[in-house]
Amino acid sequence: MASIFTKIIQGEIPCEKIIETDSEIAFLDIMPCAAGHTLVIPKLEVERLEDLPAEQALSLMRTMQQVAKAVSTAFDGIDYNLILNNGLNAGQEIAHVHFHVLPRAKGSPGPFREHVQYAEGEMQEVGAKIRNCL
User: Both ends of the chain: CA-CA distance in Å?
Assistant: 33
Of these residues, 96, 98, 100, 115, which one is catalytic? 98
96 in catalytic set: no
What amino acid positions are annotated as catalytic residues? 98
